[in-house]
Amino acid sequence: MTDVQRVALVTGGCGGIGSAICKRLTKDGFRVATNYRSEEKAAKWREMMSEQGVDTALYKADVTDYEQCKKMIEDIEEDLGRIDVIVNNAGITRDTTMRKMEPSQWHDVIGTNLNSVYNIVRPALNGMLERGYGRIINIASINGQKGQIGQANYSAAKAGMHGFTKALAQEVARKGITVNTVSPGYIATEMVMAVPEDIREKIIAQIPVGRLGQPDEIAAAVAYLVSDDAAFITGSDLSINGGQHMH
Ligand code: CAA
């Protein structure tokens, strides 16, 4: 770490994996910022986090909207001085088989899970280039690697995130910026608990480790990838899935 406190923007910080990442990076000495859409949800989340001694800077911005993201990045740079780390974590599911998928279910998932990555990284990248330092982590999914029935939208977006990782990693490798993907398997969050129980039980039976992952197990990997120790890791995709998909 430098003498200056590093600043991390974690999108979708109020969700299951996002909360764990915000907590872990705060504990590791980062000043953490996140975005939100619902005032009500954000207020409850802020209270829950402050009870645990975690203070996160909150900004209202919809990650599907470029202008809102650009404004948020400018506000964070002004308020907190810089952005050194981006964790593109915001994500949604709209699971349904292709024969039933409505255009909105396709566009909502591509907008939130993939277009968001452009919307956040583009306005923040020049600051990182000027400072000669950056860590960008894209939270993808096992289902972007192997595909999943009912998730053509989600699998496409998550696979797209890793394509983005590989291209950008090459562009900025000589500028002190690393870009990596983390691909969680099935983690015990509301998103996974929304899968019908009978289907979820069948999925858990396919995980060699024999259980769902924990959000903290994803946060620990993010903490490593954003550390100075990980300076030689770029363009990689770290699978954290209990052995469910090996490739
Ligand atoms: N294997 C084989 N066939 C399957 C199947 C499977 N796992 N699942 C569904 N099908 C087949 C059915 O047999 C049926 O075929 P027939 O028409 O020939 O009988 C057909 O698909 C059912 O199609 P429907 O369009 O009627 O599907 P449905 O309404 O029953 O629901 C679904 C399908 C929404 C995809 C449901 O199966 C589901 O929720 N699956 C879980 C999807 C999932 O894993 N989501 C992950 C969410 S968590 C997350 O995304 C986080 C992360 O990164 C891991």
Q: Using a 6 Å cutoff on CB, does residue 195 contact ligand 1? A: yes
Instruction: State which ligand 1 atom lies nearest to the alpha carbon of 149.
Output: 35
pLDDT tens-digit series, residues 52-106 = 999 999 999 999 999 999 999 999 999 999 999 999 999 999 999 999 999 999 9
The pTM of this model reads 0.96
pLDDT beyond 80 at 2 = no
Amino acid 142: pLDDT: 98
- Strands, E, within 92-219: which ranges? 134-139, 177-184
Residue 119 lies in a domain: yes
- Contacts of 91 by beta carbon, 8 Å cutoff, 6+ apart: 12, 15, 112, 113, 139, 141, 154, 157, 191
Instruction: State which ligand 1 atom lies nearest to the alpha carbon of 96.
Output: 34
pLDDT tens-digit series, residues 64-79 = 999 999 999 999 999 9
Catalytic site includes residue 154: yes
Amino acid 13: pLDDT: 97
What is the distance between the alpha carbons of residues 89 and 17, in angstroms, rounded to a whole number? 8
Residue 243 lies in a domain: no
Instruction: State which ligand 1 atom lies nearest to the alpha carbon of 158.
Output: 53
| Helix H or strand E segment including 35 | strand 31-36
Question: Which residue has its alpha carbon closest to ligand 1 atom 47?
Answer: 192
Once rounded to an integer, what is the mean pLDDT over residues 136-151? 98
- CATH code, domain with 97: 3.40.50.720
Residue 247 lies in a domain: no
Task: For residue 23, give its domain range.
Answer: 7-232
Residue 187 lies in a domain: yes
* C-alpha of residue 142 to centroid of ligand 1, in Å: 16
To the nearest 10°, the Cα dihedral for 64, 70, 72, 77? 150
**Domains of the chain: total:** 1
Angle at 34 between CA 27 and CA 38, to 5 degrees: 130
Residue 210 lies in a domain: yes
Residue 23 lies in a domain: yes
Residue 241 lies in a domain: no
Residue 245 lies in a domain: no
* C-alpha of residue 96 to centroid of ligand 1, in Å: 7
